[in-house]
């Protein structure tokens, strides 16, 4: 995904345009299903193993009746995990959330849609076919995208959390912002990096070095959990334990 800077954790639901309007409510009983937000690239990567892991994760999520929240793109790893899960579990299993500015960018150039909405400037925006990619919500900016993704996970049943597949700057920014929210006590959901062929070795080594050097406190080096397979990643979210070193702060509603 594309990076958008650090954003505060929300407590108030947004009111975006959506292909199937459905305001978020963290307390709604209907939302009590395991939900995983997957951060990943809008590119496929050079190694086919990255796309294959996206498909494997989708299959494991389908097997366990887990819903996907993702960045709403139809290309790269984002598109692959979304369409694979929809093909197995149906369109209700996937919710893509994408900023208006990226609607054209994170799309396959050959992609067409029968559903068109309009931006505030009355520019046509093609919304992905729901039967292929699930529900899509178009939001105003990157902050709202990340906030809504987090809200859905926090509304999910035990075992909900965040998984990072391979990606670039945007994926890493989202991963570390989510880890920082955990460290600050804003949420207590698990965060897993799915390490395909050593893709995340550098970051995992940096975390260890930072902890050893005294820049990451105590047990907070374990905020990010490594997994090397899809089943392992989902299981890690089920078994996730919050670090005893996280801060217990009171956060407002802004």
Question: What is the average per-residue pLDDT within 31-52?
Answer: 95
Classify the phi-psi angles of 176: left when phi > 0, otherwise alpha if psi is within -120 to 50, otherwise beta. Answer: alpha
CA quadruple 172, 178, 182, 184: dihedral sign: positive
* pLDDT surpassing 80 at residue 209: yes
Count Cβ atoms below 10 Å from residue 117 Cβ, excluding itself.
Answer: 17
Residue 79 tokens, joined: 């598109």
CA gap 162, 1 in Å, rounded: 14
Mean pLDDT calculated for residue range 192-202: 98
Start-to-end Cα distance in the chain: 25
Q: Which of 37-51, 100-114, 213-227 has the lowest mean pLDDT?
A: 100-114
pLDDT for the residue numbered 193? 98
Worst-scoring range by mean pLDDT, 9-18, 220-229, 236-245?
Answer: 9-18
Helix (H) or strand (E) holding 59: helix 48-63
Which of 192, 194, 189, 187 lies closest to 158 in space, CA to CA?
A: 189
3-state secondary structure of 17: strand
Q: How confident is the model at residue 23 (pLDDT cuts 50, 70, 90)?
A: very low
- β pairing state of 67-70 and 94-99: parallel
Which CATH number is 29-238 given?
Answer: 3.40.50.450
Q: State the DSSP H helix or E strand holding residue 170, giving kind and residue range, or none if neither.
A: helix 169-183
Q: Does residue 155 register a pLDDT over 50?
A: yes
Cα 190-133-235 angle, rounded to 5 deg: 25
| CA–CA separation, 134 and 187 (whole Å) | 26
Q: What tokens were used for 56?
A: 């494997």
| Separation CA 158–CA 250 (nearest Å) | 23
Query: Do residues 222 and 243 lie in contact, with contact meaning Cβ atoms separated by under 8 Å?
Result: yes
**Per-residue tokens: 230:** 């899809």
Alpha-carbon torsion (27, 28, 30, 31), positive or negative: negative
Average pLDDT value over all residues in the chain: 85
């Amino acid at each position: 995904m594309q990076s958008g800077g650090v954003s505060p954790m929300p407590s108030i639901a947004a009111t975006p345009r959506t292909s199937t309007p459905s305001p978020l409510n963290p307390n709604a009983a209907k939302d009590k299903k395991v939900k995983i937000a997957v951060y990943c690239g809008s590119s496929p990567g050079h190694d086919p193993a990255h796309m294959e892991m996206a498909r494997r994760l989708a299959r494991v999520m389908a097997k366990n009746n887990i819903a996907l929240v993702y960045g709403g793109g139809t290309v790269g790893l984002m598109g692959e995990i979304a369409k694979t899960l929809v093909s197995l579990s149906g369109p209700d299993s996937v919710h893509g959330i994408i900023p208006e500015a990226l609607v054209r960018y994170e799309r396959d150039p050959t992609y067409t849609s029968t559903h068109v909405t309009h931006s505030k400037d009355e520019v046509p925006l093609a919304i992905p076919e729901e039967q292929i990619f699930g529900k899509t919500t178009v939001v105003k900016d990157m902050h709202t995208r990340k906030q809504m993704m987090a809200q859905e996970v926090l509304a999910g049943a035990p075992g909900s959390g965040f998984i990072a597949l391979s990606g670039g700057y945007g994926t890493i920014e989202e991963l570390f912002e989510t880890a920082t929210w955990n460290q600050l006590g804003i949420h207590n959901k698990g965060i897993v990096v799915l390490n395909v062929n050593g893709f995340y070795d550098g970051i995992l080594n940096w975390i260890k070095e930072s902890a050893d050097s005294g820049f990451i406190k105590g047990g907070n080096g374990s905020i990010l959990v490594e997994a090397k397979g899809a089943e392992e990643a989902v299981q890690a979210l089920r078994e996730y334990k919050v670090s005893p070193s996280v801060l217990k702060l009171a956060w407002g509603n802004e």
